[in-house]
A and B are shown apart, each in its own frame.
Chain A
């Protein structure tokens, strides 16, 4: 009797369950998308509040990349460092660590690349590649520091990485100013790079450089690393539950260390790519702070490296729009930081991200319960009758 009713139900239950598991993935993605849309809409409202010519400003903000081809190229170039930072943060986020040391990795990567670019005479092509490798190594070693502090002395990696960012920023500036500065220039700039150091341009007469391709390759590599290799498996396992990972026989500290090294390595490469792709000399007057861009990008991508280019495109789009608008209107570029803050605020809230899921699960369960009322009543009495026999 029981098996007769149970069998078809299991089939339906199974289909339903599979439908639900899909929606579990769908909905957070949807919330992420909504967060992005919401940020843009709030931006528009803000413009209407502060601008004297809101329509023009909004048009400049939203359509900048399509109004001037220069803007579009600029968008593509701006994507590159953001992509590197986003990938770097995806890796440590997968292990559920929250470090912002990638800032230092990018900056020191750029400094190391500057040294290589000025002093190492190498053939074209090989020259920037060597710079990327050495910058990556430097970035990787720097990336290790907060992890070591956390493992050895339980120092919170978020705090120590923020502090270390100052240390490395001033260390890097010191190296540039005292050892690499071009005294003939009136502004702060390093000695010029050797011509072999420059990355080739992809589109003539634009700034679009081969670093774009390097970034694309890294997107593929990091995706493979995280979802297809045993190291990625280890990183995800440690992220899911470190106590479980230890119990299952993993060396949790080793996993955390190499995750941070790889993350820092990618940051370092990003710094080198910026130098070799865009500049003739090191001319950063201040820390470009790519770590926070990485945070937004990694969150928008939901820690999945595959989606990093998409979210990097979105962030670059906002940047380019805001930049264009501020130069042609009365809204300051900084308003973009408010939108970024909004996005982080929404995505950092588990309650919001999982709101639909919780509501749906509850409603579905109640509905099933109500629908099954009569049938269940029957089963219960049958069960009691059977038991009574």
Chain B
């Protein structure tokens, strides 16, 4: 079969020397949905950015319908019929959906040449009906759900005449129900003759949706299969390059005494939106309490309050019986709360500083590192850094190299290595494996369980539902800043069930939710 879009020997090297794509021979058949799977950092997004004209290839060729093509910008790619929906939406929140849709290619009134609002709405509704992607044309982007924003992004691409649509991890921000809806819509697009590239690292989704699947690993295109002829174990082996255990070994333990007691926390953000709405919970020794919820439902803010980075408007925060509300991150750390920040690039690490400085940032002033007159004990510091680097298997030439030079997984090991050796009683762990390769994910998961087994209280926040469900002993669900459900036994609840709570379609009674306080 003829390929509508292909690459030959495509290599992409970034300015910092990272080789993101290594001689990739990628092929796309007309009218198919092709899954592109691989770990984070395998080069999927880069390959698509090259095809979409956002990045220039360092070597190799791109062929569009058999003819040599080169895109110097995404405008060129759009003109050639290639559209891309990014993981992070590119929308203007204060404008209406219709205005966003036509932005850059606006319909104009015949005589005055002014923007034709009604025509924009008509176009939006027509497209929406044609592709069965339901959106409210007149609503403002800021007021609609994430899934509707995504539909709008797809419509935007279609409006610009794309025949090939690239979707970069579209399901990352969706609930299970919304994902199913999206799949139906994509199948409709395929029926109407469009070609779709579906980037994901969730194999079950790819198998449910796609015709063929290409696997990337370490910048290389490892293999391409017909979905009907392949199983998820083969794919995951190809993704990782070795056998992976998809199940986590976890022995049951019983939770101990309460360590961190948070009551009635609230937070209102700069836009006057209530992000945390009277949230109370208790963390107990030897227990992983998982927080699930669609991103942006208050998890981030709750974590920032619990770790002292943000002030709650109400309530109290006690660690080991001591009131720490408003005490600041330093005092809360000293009280025994370690924190793996969700964003290692901006908060969890100082990229320009050395691995050693990063590892010692929370403990440099202790007596074992700082001696008389404030002089630091260089040898002790070097030794500490060396031991954490070895213990957490940080792959680096030396601890004096900058954190920026590490891969995502190793960067995260630096962050986790520091926090897990901080001798804390409470570990607040946020997005521990975001953007981390599978090998490191397995490692990090084992360390989290090991901390629980050592009697620490762990609060786990992650947008990877499977991750929270497999690691946690109990679960709470957050929706619109509130805790809407508590499950004492995380193993006893299905992802479908959680989805209903995440979407805010279901809500437990106050008595059930109150059980998370463990006040009896």
Write the residues of chain A forming the contact surface with B, with a CB cutoff of 8 angstroms.
Answer: 14, 17-18, 21, 224, 228-231, 233-234, 236-237, 240-241, 243-251, 358, 360-362, 364-366, 368-369, 373, 376-377, 380, 383-384, 387-388
Scoring B residues 345 to 372 as 1 if CB is less than 8 Å from chain A, else 0, what string do you get? 0111111110001001110110001100
B250 → chain A closest CB, angstroms: 27
A289 → chain B closest CB, angstroms: 31
Mind listing 13 A-B residue pairs with CB under 8 Å? A231-B374, A233-B376, A240-B351, A241-B346, A246-B309, A247-B329, A247-B341, A249-B331, A249-B334, A250-B330, A361-B15, A365-B19, A373-B23
B384 → chain A closest CB, angstroms: 13
Complex Cα spacing A117 to B360, Å: 46
Set of chain A residues within 8 Å of B360, measured between Cβ atoms: 233
User: Known contacts A244-B347, A376-B22: does B353 contact A237 (CB below 8 Å)?
Assistant: yes
Specify which of A17, A244, A245, A380 is in contact with B222 (CB 8 Å cutoff). A380
Complex Cα spacing A241 to B374, Å: 22
B364 touches A380 (CB 8 A): no
Of all chain A residues, the one with the shortest Cβ separation from B362 is A248
User: Known contacts A244-B347, A247-B309: does B352 contact A369 (CB below 8 Å)?
Assistant: no
B11 touches A366 (CB 8 A): yes
Of all chain A residues, the one with the shortest Cβ separation from B357 is A237
B13 touches A247 (CB 8 A): no
A365 touches B350 (CB 8 A): no
User: Known contacts A18-B398, A21-B401, A248-B361: does B351 contact A362 (CB below 8 Å)?
Assistant: no
Complex Cα spacing A376 to B217, Å: 12
Specify which of A229, A236, A362, A366 is in contact with B374 (CB 8 Å cutoff). A229
Set of chain A residues within 8 Å of B307, measured between Cβ atoms: 247
Complex Cα spacing A233 to B369, Å: 12
Specify which of A240, A369, A373, A388 is in contact with B357 (CB 8 Å cutoff). A240
- In this complex, how many residues of chain B approach chain A with their Cβ under 8 Å: the count is 56
B293 → chain A closest CB, angstroms: 22
Instruction: Give chain B interface residues in 401-454, CB to chain A under 8 Å.
Output: 401, 405
Set of chain B residues within 8 Å of A380, measured between Cβ atoms: 220, 222
User: Known contacts A236-B357, A241-B346, A241-B349: does B398 contact A249 (CB below 8 Å)?
Assistant: no
B361 touches A244 (CB 8 A): yes
Q: Does B114 contact A (CB under 8 A)?
A: no
User: Known contacts A249-B333, A380-B220: does B13 contact A244 (CB below 8 Å)?
Assistant: no
Set of chain A residues within 8 Å of B482, measured between Cβ atoms: none
Set of chain B residues within 8 Å of A250, measured between Cβ atoms: 330, 361
Instruction: Give chain B interface residues in 292-349, CB to chain A under 8 Å.
Output: 307, 309, 328-331, 333-334, 339, 341, 346-349
B349 touches A244 (CB 8 A): yes
A217 → chain B closest CB, angstroms: 16
Set of chain A residues within 8 Å of B397, measured between Cβ atoms: 14, 17-18, 21
B310 → chain A closest CB, angstroms: 11
Q: Does B18 contact A (CB under 8 A)?
A: yes
B188 → chain A closest CB, angstroms: 33
10 tightest Cβ-Cβ pairs between the two chains A and B: A361-B17, A249-B330, A240-B350, A241-B350, A17-B397, A248-B361, A240-B353, A229-B374, A249-B333, A244-B350
Set of chain B residues within 8 Å of A384, measured between Cβ atoms: 222-223, 238
A365 touches B370 (CB 8 A): no
A376 → chain B closest CB, angstroms: 7
Of all chain B residues, the one with the shortest Cβ separation from A229 is B374
Complex Cα spacing A23 to B359, Å: 24
A383 touches B222 (CB 8 A): yes
Complex Cα spacing A368 to B374, Å: 46
Set of chain B residues within 8 Å of A364, measured between Cβ atoms: 17
Q: Does B271 contact A (CB under 8 A)?
A: no
Set of chain A residues within 8 Å of B347, measured between Cβ atoms: 243-244, 247
Q: Does B253 contact A (CB under 8 A)?
A: no
Complex Cα spacing A387 to B351, Å: 36
Q: Does B237 contact A (CB under 8 A)?
A: yes
B15 touches A233 (CB 8 A): no
Complex Cα spacing A213 to B220, Å: 61
Set of chain A residues within 8 Å of B17, measured between Cβ atoms: 360-362, 364-365
Set of chain A residues within 8 Å of B333, measured between Cβ atoms: 248-249
A236 touches B353 (CB 8 A): yes
Q: Does B193 contact A (CB under 8 A)?
A: no
Set of chain B residues within 8 Å of A365, measured between Cβ atoms: 13, 17-19
Q: Does B254 contact A (CB under 8 A)?
A: no
Q: Does B494 contact A (CB under 8 A)?
A: no
Complex Cα spacing A384 to B223, Å: 7
B361 touches A245 (CB 8 A): yes
A367 → chain B closest CB, angstroms: 10
B16 touches A361 (CB 8 A): yes
A244 touches B348 (CB 8 A): yes
Complex Cα spacing A219 to B465, Å: 55
